[in-house]
Structure 1
Amino acid sequence: MKAQLVTATALVATLATTLAPPPVQASPAAERPPGGEHGWVTSTLRHMSLPQKVGQLFATYVYGGDATEPTAADRAANRAAFGVETPAEVVDQFHLGGICYFSWSHNLDSPRQIATLSNGLQRAAVGDGTKGRVPLLISTDQEQGVVLRMPAPAAQFPGSMALGAGRSPQAAREAAEITGRELRAVGIHQPYAPIADVNVDPGNPVIGVRSFGADPTLVADLTAAQVAGFQDGAGATAVAKHFPGHGDTATDSHTDLPVIDHTRQEWDRIDAPPFRRAIDAGVESIMTAHIVVPALDPSGDPATLSPTILTGVLRGELGFRGVVVTDALNMAAVRRKYGDDRVPVLALKAGADQLLMPPDLRLARDAVLRAVATGELTERRVDESVRRILALKYRQGLARSPLVDVEQAVRTVGAPAHLAAVARVTDPTLTAVRNDAGLLPLRPGRRSVLVTGWNSAAFATVETVAGGFTARDARVTARPATLPSDKVIAETAALAAEHDLTVVLTNKAWDTAVTDPRGTQQRLVAALLGAGRPVVVVAVRDPYDIAYLPGVSTYLATYSYTRAAMDALVRALHGELSPRGRLPVTIATADGSGTVLHPYGHGTSW
């Protein structure tokens, strides 16, 4: 069989290719080459060899901030992962259809660097310009909030659950449009957003604040608004995820295989509406979930590998005609039942088009080629997916203009108008959940303030809040205590007793199984309350923390820890901003009884 594969590959590799797309600079996605989408797609596909077609099905990461001159460490990482040293060589070697940028793979530093990298990778993809060479579709996880990849000066909006608290489709659309514009400026086409999952399980370890909320109608409205913002406003490709719905699970698909026990009726009522609305809004791509949904497919296969779910439900029942991209194939959930050589083949047989981040790219590529050589997959089936991918690239304007203007990227990313919009969108999302003692807003006067608790290295949350108090003439002590030891808890409580006010930040304090196994955040808050001075507790991620913090009378939720969110918090504490956010989820008591502590839609103000 190996000999057959080599022979087939050698034969298709001899096909002649001609006609180079002009190497012009970036233009709007609406600019199309003569001949139209069908003509370009058909002509391009006709000139592609089988390895080139199969390469189009894969999108993966590469190491390095420059396409041809990565650091020595990134060269070594590429060599270990792909057998070649530079990002450009990875693209050329595997005929890749897409690249996904990450900070950990050193792709994202500054607007100039990212735009230059994108151009270098596109030149590697197009090569000599022959028709079998196709520009890349470049992606990243720019959900905003707690999942964002583009560093400052990029506009850093609040995430989905914050937008859910703000209840404004217009704000959700504006955030998506500006995000999409900045991504397009640096050569990124797919933001892998919006999140269409309905987060009905407070213990969900993987979605949580990445969801707009627990109400299917709210999630559907904001999902559709963001699809319009990304696509109609910015010319980017929206990617609704994770189909058929990852919101009701207490299992993280990065580490295990979740099972969603919704009945078919529950799925239709809870999970389906946001995806239906996304499709109605014209979403061009949908990402699969590595989850088992027995009501949709009793086989036990994850949705990513299920023909019943992807072809039967998504394409057949919901009528989706765009590109189906898998969630990352290096996640544990999709690898539990089948080997890494089988997963990409089964995903294609199920109806997926774009295969994201297989753990071994060469193994995955060769497995698909072998499946075609043996007849398990037909070349016609491969062509179906390649056609969808090429059509998407055409609509992105890549057939004519794969390159971006680097200087324009520098001017666009973090433009003053964009940063002003960040504050405008963020302010109405802040939610005051409790103000039982009437502590807020703080009365005028000079006071001593301790700011402590969870701290983000990237956003310096404790220091940012402390700086806000200092600017308002308070005497401030900033003491980060992310997961404090017993000694630090005791020392911090002693400090609280010496201050007029303590502000403590928490992040997933409810999650004593994974995030905070020793319950240190809960114990820190209890110790601070025991100091006998006023305490303001602020959940900078999941709003559910309050259920695990008895005795707290003053509690706010920001849903993310961006600088804009922390700035809005400080202004609200001082009465300069009236909290307007309303809970987009229900907060139940921690005893598992289902008793409602704070209902959906709750929020107070001053």
Structure 2
Amino acid sequence: MQDRSLSRLSRRTLLASATAVAGAGALGVTATPALAAGRPATGDASLRDLIGSMSLEAKVGQLFVTYFYGHSADNPNQSHVDANLRELGVRNAAEAIAKYHLGGVIYFSGWTGNIIDLHQVADLTNGVQRASLALPTPVPSLISIDQEHGANTRIGSPATQMPGAMALGAGRSTSDARTAGQIAGAELAALGIYQNFAPVADVNVNPANPVINVRSFGADPTAVGKLVAAQVQGYQRAGVIACAKHFPGHGDTGADSHTQLPVITHTREEWERIDAPPFRAAIAAGVDSIMTAHLQVPALDPSNDPATLSPIILTDVLRGELGFEGVIVTDALNMQGVRTKYGDDRVPVLALKAGVDQLLFPPNIEVAFNAVVAAVRSGELTEARIEESVLRILRLKQKVGLLSGSPYVSHQEVDKAVGTRKNLATADRITERTTTLLVNKNDTLPLRSRQRKLLVVGANPVFPADATRFALPSLTASLDDLGFTTTSIATGRAPDTATIDAAVAAATGRHAVVVVTDNVGATSAQRTLVSRLVATGIPVINVAVRNPYDIAQLSGVRAALATYCWTDAELRAVARVIAGRVEPRGKLPVPIQRADDPAKVLFPAGHGLSYDD
């Protein structure tokens, strides 16, 4: 009975209903799209009926997920209009949806101007859905985002900021990872964002990895797999589509696929042992989508095509051997890794031939869209092949309720669900379990009650998803709240001699110096800053706010802590650890090699001190 509810909807009914809701979506307005008429549609029969009502262009459009500029779907500011015209050939998101029959869009913070505040995001979602329901065949949009948390965050405070993957790896709790995913997913769903390109399933076995690093849960495939599965369960229990990425594994590369085509040199046995387990765990947990990687894996495909374009890797291995039946989505198609061998008109066609379903972020949506349509008309791709992917995508939309309820959201629901006091308190508790104490000479930490005068210096990274806020002021405020008297100097990642001299002079009369570091390399001026401060004889406490590997480049510090990111939650947690309000409980999820002899391990995975040690 339920399967027939959608099939009864004629094209005329769909059009009439779309017209009725086209003006909906203002604050507090709830409208039911045409696809919700009757009972919720379940099963494929009704979805196939819907596909049968689509033009070829509408089917092809369902495969694309693109970015756009502006805080509004139909009324962005002039600079965003200009950017949209230049890059998309349209003025706004609504026109992009209409022109290309888009099945989805993706939100970014910062450069696209999509995210300003929570109510604005809700209004943007409603505008996107109004445009989607105004299409000739109205189908709600599947709105997506990269909200991995930690260093890769798109929606900042007042949404709840959860620890990122490597921090959760340090916490070693599948329960915490699941809870973090469920809270994050519920907040995204309240904003009408139902596809999150997380969690990262890459196993970070290369400390020099420039693109994954703290986005990974760690270096142990089994532990990573357990945490990936837990996050998948958390997101999907909240009604949000999770996406394990980047298949077949991006954890052992020294190149960034945004700018190059990396090569993974693992043997087939190494791939099975290192890279495959987290993806197998995600599939066993019921993950709805998996994202491809733009890299070569000769042991899997000797053609050396990028994995995104490889039928062997996506169809034979991912679908055949691993048994994945969900949606395969490309990593962003504007990345150089997928563009080195083929032109932008060939990449989307080859990706579909390889087995991809969703085409994410093409560099030129008009070229990509027209290329796929032309490939079908020429016979290179069959319409049946397009429909296969459309069906998988519609199943996702059906699963999250877009085809059986209103796609619109309200400010009231956002206020009730996002950044609640309970969620924020839970985030703090989880984060406190991730802070890792690597060095604690002579029980330097926790600081004693008489050690109240602190200098906080060092790197000052901007907050993820909030370009107006920086790490040092947040850490300083957190320490002040705990009764310390602090002075801070932002010396940055590359302090010059005068800046270092000023920091050393400011250390005079302080009980301790807290030095924030951010990716310290062998030639980094941050090393000079730390060594000069150590030479003063004042206790130096290092706080590595990104990769935990900084300590390998630093000598003489009395204490060293790793936070894996620098959001408010991490900085509050590390301040509480310094003050002795909480015990450091994190354990390294990756080994740290010696800087002078990388073949030797300075701290093994699992290392982490407590105040009882």
TM-score range, shorter chain: over 0.9
Deviations 1:143-164 (A, max 9, x none): 0011111121100011000000
The change in CA–CA distance for 1:26 and 1:177 in structure 2 (over 3 A counts) is farther
The change in CA–CA distance for 1:495 and 1:136 in structure 2 (over 3 A counts) is same
1:35 CA displacement: 4.3
Distance 1:246 1:563 in 2: 28
Gaps of 5+ in 1: 1-15, 513-517
Q: Paired residue for 2:100?
A: 94
1:41 counterpart (44, 47, 55): 47
The TM-score with structure 2 as length reference comes to 0.92
Does residue 229 (structure 1) correspond to residue 234 (structure 2)? The answer is: yes
Runs of 4+ in 1 over 6 A off after TM superposition: 29-32
Q: Paired residue for 1:331?
A: 335
Q: Paired residue for 2:4?
A: none
Matched positions, count: 581
Distance 1:433 1:485 in 2: 28
Please say if residues 437 and 554 of structure 1, whose CA atoms lie closer than 8 Å, have aligned partners that are also in contact.
no
2:478 counterpart (460, 468, 489): 468
Deviations 1:456-496 (A, max 9, x none): 33342211222233234433211111132221112212222
SS at match of 2:430: helix
Q: Paired residue for 1:353?
A: 357
Q: Paired residue for 2:3?
A: none
Q: Paired residue for 1:19?
A: 13
2:442 counterpart (413, 426, 437): 437
361-370 vs 522-531, which deviates more?
Answer: 522-531
SS at match of 1:497: coil
Please say if residues 241 and 289 of structure 2, whose CA atoms lie closer than 8 Å, have aligned partners that are also in contact.
yes
SS at match of 1:437: helix
Gaps of 5+ in 2: 1-9, 22-29, 464-468
Please say if residues 454 and 480 of structure 1, whose CA atoms lie closer than 8 Å, have aligned partners that are also in contact.
yes
Does residue 306 (structure 1) correspond to residue 310 (structure 2)? The answer is: yes
Report the AA paired with residue 84 of structure 1.
V
1:183 counterpart (188, 210, 223): 188
Report the AA paired with residue 163 of structure 2.
P
Please say if residues 204 and 252 of structure 2, whose CA atoms lie closer than 8 Å, have aligned partners that are also in contact.
yes
Distance 1:321 1:364 in 2: 25
1:202 counterpart (207, 211, 214): 207
Report the AA paired with residue 347 of structure 1.
A
Report the AA paired with residue 366 of structure 2.
R
Report the AA paired with residue 163 of structure 1.
L
1:529 CA displacement: 1.2
SS at match of 2:193: coil
Please say if residues 122 and 403 of structure 1, whose CA atoms lie closer than 8 Å, have aligned partners that are also in contact.
yes
Does residue 57 (structure 1) correspond to residue 56 (structure 2)? The answer is: no
2:498 counterpart (472, 483, 487): 487
Report the AA paired with residue 201 of structure 1.
N
**Percentage of pairs with the same residue:** 51
Please say if residues 30 and 396 of structure 1, whose CA atoms lie closer than 8 Å, have aligned partners that are also in contact.
no
Q: Paired residue for 2:25?
A: none
The TM-score with structure 1 as length reference comes to 0.93
Q: Paired residue for 2:224?
A: 219
Distance 1:410 1:31 in 2: 28
1:127 counterpart (134, 137, 157): 134
Please say if residues 431 and 580 of structure 1, whose CA atoms lie closer than 8 Å, have aligned partners that are also in contact.
yes
The change in CA–CA distance for 1:268 and 1:33 in structure 2 (over 3 A counts) is farther
Q: Paired residue for 1:158?
A: 163
Report the AA paired with residue 400 of structure 2.
Q
1:51 CA displacement: 0.7
1:536 CA displacement: 0.1
Report the AA paired with residue 71 of structure 1.
N
Distance 1:326 1:469 in 2: 43
The change in CA–CA distance for 1:221 and 1:519 in structure 2 (over 3 A counts) is same
1:93 CA displacement: 1.0
Q: Paired residue for 1:405?
A: 410
Please say if residues 31 and 397 of structure 1, whose CA atoms lie closer than 8 Å, have aligned partners that are also in contact.
no
Please say if residues 18 and 47 of structure 1, whose CA atoms lie closer than 8 Å, have aligned partners that are also in contact.
no
Distance 2:46 2:423 in 1: 35
Q: Paired residue for 2:6?
A: none
Please say if residues 144 and 156 of structure 1, whose CA atoms lie closer than 8 Å, have aligned partners that are also in contact.
yes
Distance 2:236 2:310 in 1: 28
Q: Paired residue for 1:143?
A: 148
Q: Paired residue for 2:113?
A: 106
Report the AA paired with residue 118 of structure 1.
T
Q: Paired residue for 2:511?
A: 500
Report the AA paired with residue 134 of structure 1.
V
375-384 vs 396-405, which deviates more?
Answer: 396-405
Please say if residues 37 and 395 of structure 1, whose CA atoms lie closer than 8 Å, have aligned partners that are also in contact.
no
Q: Paired residue for 1:74?
A: 80
Deviations 1:227-275 (A, max 9, x none): 110012x000000000001001111111111111111111111111110
Distance 1:540 1:31 in 2: 51
Deviations 1:36-78 (A, max 9, x none): 2313311110000001111111101111111111111111111
Distance 2:240 2:482 in 1: 41
Please say if residues 26 and 405 of structure 1, whose CA atoms lie closer than 8 Å, have aligned partners that are also in contact.
no
- What pairs up with 1:342-421 in 2 under 5 angstroms? 342-400=346-404, 401-421=406-426
Distance 2:188 2:530 in 1: 39
1:122 CA displacement: 0.6
Report the AA paired with residue 364 of structure 2.
D
Q: Paired residue for 2:554?
A: 549
